[in-house]
A and B are shown apart, each in its own frame.
Chain A
Amino acid sequence: MFSYAEEQTTHELDDMKVGGQPGEFPTLMVGTMFYEDQFKEPISSLDEASELIDRQNKISEKASVPSMVDIFIYEKEEVRWKLDFALDKIDGFFSVDVPESEVRMKVLEYLEEQDSLDRVIYNSLNLGLEEEEYELLKDKTPAGAILLAYNPQDNSTHGRKEMISEGGVLLDEGLLEMSEKIGVEYPLLDTAATTFGEGACEAVRSVPVFKTEFGLPVGCSLHNTLEAWRWLDQYEHKGEIFDIIDAAVDNLPMLLGADFIYYGPIENAERSIVNAAFTDKIIAEGAQDYFGIEVSEAHPYHKL
């Protein structure tokens, strides 16, 4: 186990603390819903969606590992009903995960209408940020934002760091500077899990580099690398093995000090959160006895 020499910022999102030194706070586990073709029909599936959120909350409480819901939105038509559902069902912060810039702008407008920008982690500020969206963000500012370090021109750790600090060759300014100009209160650095062949390891290696360089909360969604691993598609017992690795992959960034993990579909809450509790306990034990880190009161280290 290890500790960072650099000061580490901690964000307080409601009663959840994200960031700090390894072992200080348990990892924030974020489960995504409305992913791909799940719940395309708004009415018939909302009960099931509610149950999944309840289930994540229950496991989270039991394991003393904080959790958050990530709402995936593909198209403009989905903005209203998905956000209505989230605002009604979720107490406090939630993440809104939107690939398309135009759809993200609709999200901002609707969240402002609902007076709820202060509850949202915007996922994400990334290289696809258009000028119009940038300007809109300055006016309609979410409380938090994921800063996605994806840099396809240079997928090394250095290239990812540059996307945060200077924008690499693709943006005129770094995502961190942009988030500051926008006025994001809680920036969260995502090291951008990529496929094998596109710098898969770099997403993990970037965790300690980002913590050292920026001192901000860092995380990633390494389950995406596993999902894109074509070799496993041909493996005889893929389903069973996939489930095991899917939980285990989170341990890699966690051991290097990751503060939050997007663990994938919210259906996997149980295995991902319990796994995180185990790993958090290991990290906290090492951090406390060797580095004198004060492990937070609500940590699974004390509770489980």
Chain B
Amino acid sequence: MDIDSELLTTVVGSYPSRPERSELINSFYEKKGPFESSLKRAVEDQLECGLDLISDGQTRASMVDIFAKGLSGYRIKERVEIVERVKYSGEITVEDQRLVREIIPDRTGLKGIVTGPCTLVESSKDMFYEDKKEAVMDTAEALAEEAIRLSSVCDVIQIDEPLFSIDFPDHAQESLEKLLNIDVPIALHVCGDVTEMMEELVELDVDILDHEFTTNPVLYDKFSDIDFPQRLSVGVVSTEPTVEEVEEIRKRIEKAVDLFGPKVMIDPDCGLRNLDVKTAKMKLKNMVEAKERVQCG
């Protein structure tokens, strides 16, 4: 796929494809991974909607739990805990991405997703480190290993740091730098109103900045007031259950193109995990149709 193409359509990551209980128990009897079926459904839905750059749907668990389960040093009990030094102990999401790669056509791109180290540490009860920065840096190093492996399978790697919308810690930049040593474009997704930390965000050495423009329309003005080197990925549909009309989305896309040029990427504001499948799919379909209307003039 051509990652540089104009008005590239994508997703932030999560998709509401959850396996039925009967599917889960069948996977036990068949000695297969329990989430293969939900992953395939998430991928098929995204392909059917006509997206250019898709994700694996993050159907296994929440964005925090997926990595807390996979990294040595984290554990999940009543909540996520850090109980020893954080280390990389093997591939976490790479095998899922390989499976997706096998089933998507060459023209479709694949986005690998890594939950950022600051968000992971902030979402956990730290019972090992005395210094938060040390926990973040060890987590960043471990996640960097995953990002390197993902980059051999994916066209774009996205780092999710929702924490940055409410707090941009002193060590944020240093921790992200550990994750940037890969050869594919890197996107940073931060949801919420990021106007307060916009200056810090645009200083980061990432290729794409991805934000919630629909929920926070103030971002259109704020980003048009500053210079920044990154490509923007603009959220043009909300994560609310109401499905926006195609025309409404078209206007948002046109606004983004007017302000930031045709190289903007188009996606929902955030992950769609909390919607029902029908709503999520309709939102993506309408988004792609709106983009096509913009391209047709």
| In contact, B25 and A128 (Cβ under 8 angstroms) | yes
| In contact, B25 and A156 (Cβ under 8 angstroms) | no
Spot the interface stretch: B27-35, B210-218, B234-242, B279-287: B27-35
- Bound CA span A242–B27, Å: 23
Spot the interface stretch: A83-91, A147-155, A267-275: A147-155
Within 8 A of B (CB), among A135-179: 148, 150, 152-154, 156, 158-159, 170
- Known A153-B61, A158-B76, A158-B77; judge A170-B33 contact (CB<8 A): no
Asked if A10 is an interface residue, CB under 8 A from chain B, the answer is no
| In contact, B76 and A128 (Cβ under 8 angstroms) | no
Asked if A224 is an interface residue, CB under 8 A from chain B, the answer is yes
Residue in B21, B29, B61, B76 whose CB lies within 8 Å of A170: B21
Contacts of B75 in A (CB 8 A): 156
Contacts of B28 in A (CB 8 A): 126, 148, 150, 152, 192, 194
- Known A153-B61, A156-B75; judge A128-B31 contact (CB<8 A): no
Contacts of A3 in B (CB 8 A): none
| In contact, B31 and A224 (Cβ under 8 angstroms) | yes
Asked if A288 is an interface residue, CB under 8 A from chain B, the answer is no
- Known A154-B76, A156-B76; judge A128-B24 contact (CB<8 A): yes
Which B-chain residue is minimally distant from A102 (CB atoms)? B22
| In contact, A99 and B26 (Cβ under 8 angstroms) | yes
Which A-chain residue is minimally distant from B34 (CB atoms)? A152
Which A-chain residue is minimally distant from B29 (CB atoms)? A99
A-side binding surface: helix, strand, loop or mixed?
loop
| In contact, A127 and B76 (Cβ under 8 angstroms) | no
- Bound CA span A99–B35, Å: 18
Residue in A126, A154, A198, A227 whose CB lies within 8 Å of B25: A126
Asked if A239 is an interface residue, CB under 8 A from chain B, the answer is no
| In contact, B27 and A152 (Cβ under 8 angstroms) | yes
Contacts of A158 in B (CB 8 A): 76-77
Within 8 A of A (CB), among B13-55: 19, 21-22, 24-29, 31, 33-35
| In contact, A152 and B26 (Cβ under 8 angstroms) | no
Chain B interface size band reads 10 to 19
Asked if A228 is an interface residue, CB under 8 A from chain B, the answer is yes
Q: Report the minimal beta-carbon distance from A225 to chain B, rounded to whole angstroms.
A: 8
Within 8 A of B (CB), among A181-225: 192, 194-195, 197-198, 224
Q: Report the minimal beta-carbon distance from A159 to chain B, rounded to whole angstroms.
A: 8
Contacts of A194 in B (CB 8 A): 28
Which A-chain residue is minimally distant from B28 (CB atoms)? A150
| In contact, A99 and B25 (Cβ under 8 angstroms) | yes
Which A-chain residue is minimally distant from B22 (CB atoms)? A128
| In contact, A198 and B34 (Cβ under 8 angstroms) | yes
Asked if A8 is an interface residue, CB under 8 A from chain B, the answer is no
Q: Report the minimal beta-carbon distance from B27 to chain A, rounded to whole angstroms.
A: 7
Contacts of A99 in B (CB 8 A): 25-26, 29
Contacts of A57 in B (CB 8 A): none
- Bound CA span A156–B26, Å: 19
Q: Report the minimal beta-carbon distance from A49 to chain B, rounded to whole angstroms.
A: 21
- Bound CA span A227–B30, Å: 11
Contacts of B76 in A (CB 8 A): 154, 156, 158-159
- Bound CA span A126–B22, Å: 10
| In contact, B24 and A152 (Cβ under 8 angstroms) | yes
Contacts of A192 in B (CB 8 A): 28
Contacts of A126 in B (CB 8 A): 25, 28
Contacts of A101 in B (CB 8 A): 22
Contacts of B31 in A (CB 8 A): 195, 224, 227-228
Contacts of B26 in A (CB 8 A): 99, 128
Contacts of B33 in A (CB 8 A): 195, 197-198
Contacts of B69 in A (CB 8 A): 156
Which B-chain residue is minimally distant from A126 (CB atoms)? B25
Which A-chain residue is minimally distant from B30 (CB atoms)? A99
| In contact, B35 and A152 (Cβ under 8 angstroms) | yes
Within 8 A of B (CB), among A103-159: 126-128, 130, 148, 150, 152-154, 156, 158-159
- Bound CA span A127–B27, Å: 12
Contacts of A159 in B (CB 8 A): 76
Contacts of A224 in B (CB 8 A): 31
Contacts of A197 in B (CB 8 A): 33, 95
Contacts of B34 in A (CB 8 A): 152, 198
Q: Report the minimal beta-carbon distance from B31 to chain A, rounded to whole angstroms.
A: 4
Q: Report the minimal beta-carbon distance from A120 to chain B, rounded to whole angstroms.
A: 19
Q: Report the minimal beta-carbon distance from B296 to chain A, rounded to whole angstroms.
A: 44
Chain A contact residues, CB within 8 Å of chain B:
99-101, 126-128, 130, 148, 150, 152-154, 156, 158-159, 170, 192, 194-195, 197-198, 224, 227-228
**Nearest 4 A/B pairs, CB to CB:** A128-B25, A152-B34, A228-B31, A99-B29
For this complex, 28 residue pairs linking A to B, each with C-beta atoms less than 8 Å apart, are A99-B25, A99-B26, A99-B29, A100-B22, A101-B22, A127-B21, A127-B25, A128-B21, A128-B24, A150-B25, A150-B28, A152-B19, A152-B24, A152-B27, A152-B28, A152-B35, A154-B76, A156-B76, A158-B77, A170-B21, A192-B28, A194-B28, A195-B33, A197-B95, A198-B34, A224-B31, A227-B31, A228-B31
Chain B contact residues, CB within 8 Å of chain A:
19, 21-22, 24-29, 31, 33-35, 61, 69, 75-77, 95
Given contacts A127-B25, A195-B33, 14 further A-B contacts (CB under 8 A): A100-B22, A101-B22, A126-B28, A128-B21, A128-B22, A128-B26, A130-B22, A150-B24, A150-B25, A156-B75, A158-B77, A170-B24, A198-B34, A227-B31
